């Protein structure tokens, strides 16, 4: 088990949110809008050892805005017109759609930090040369 400094934690999170490799910060995470590379093109870090490693973060980040909408409805918010319904649904759906690549990058960064904190013998972290 290795310690992760606060600076390293926030650096990895920032890199993931910026859609860059959480290990080196140089390679892009995605080939297209939200199709991830299997490995970092710059340092070779394998983003997901097994497909589906980042699903738990997806579930949490998708459910928070939906939960906020449910809370609003539970505490008395009522859709009284079509336009109000469109605005309400749009205010929940639009942020979810627009942040898909960033949330996926964040999920990869969090998984990277977990794998670094509790390493598996099968994990291979590239040499830290070229880190910025």
For 60-94, write each residue's pLDDT tens digit: 777 877 788 788 777 877 888 899 888 888 888 88
Between CA 100 and CA 72 the distance in angstroms is 23
pLDDT at 10 over 60: yes
pTM of the model: 0.79
Contact 4, 117 (CB under 8 A): yes
Packing angle between helix 82-98 and helix 55-74, nearest 10 degrees? 160
As a whole number, mean pLDDT of residues 21-25 equals 93
DSSP 46: B
CA dihedral 64, 27, 54, 109 (to 10 degrees): -60
Between CA 112 and CA 98 the distance in angstroms is 23
Please report which helix (H) or strand (E) contains residue 58, including its range.
helix 55-74
């Amino acid at each position: 088990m290795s310690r992760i400094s606060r600076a390293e934690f926030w650096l990895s999170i920032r890199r993931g949110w910026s859609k860059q490799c959480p290990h080196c910060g140089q390679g892009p995470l995605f080939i297209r809008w939200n199709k991830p590379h299997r490995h970092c093109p710059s340092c070779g870090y394998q983003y997901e050892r097994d497909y589906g490693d980042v699903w738990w973060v997806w579930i949490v980040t998708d459910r928070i805005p939906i939960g906020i909408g449910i809370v609003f409805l539970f505490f008395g918010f009522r859709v009284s017109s079509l336009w109000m319904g469109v605005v309400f649904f749009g205010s929940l759906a639009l942020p979810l759609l627009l942040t898909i690549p960033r949330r996926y990058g964040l999920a990869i960064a969090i998984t990277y930090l977990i794998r670094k904190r509790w390493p598996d013998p099968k994990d291979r972290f590239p040499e830290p040369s070229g880190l910025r």
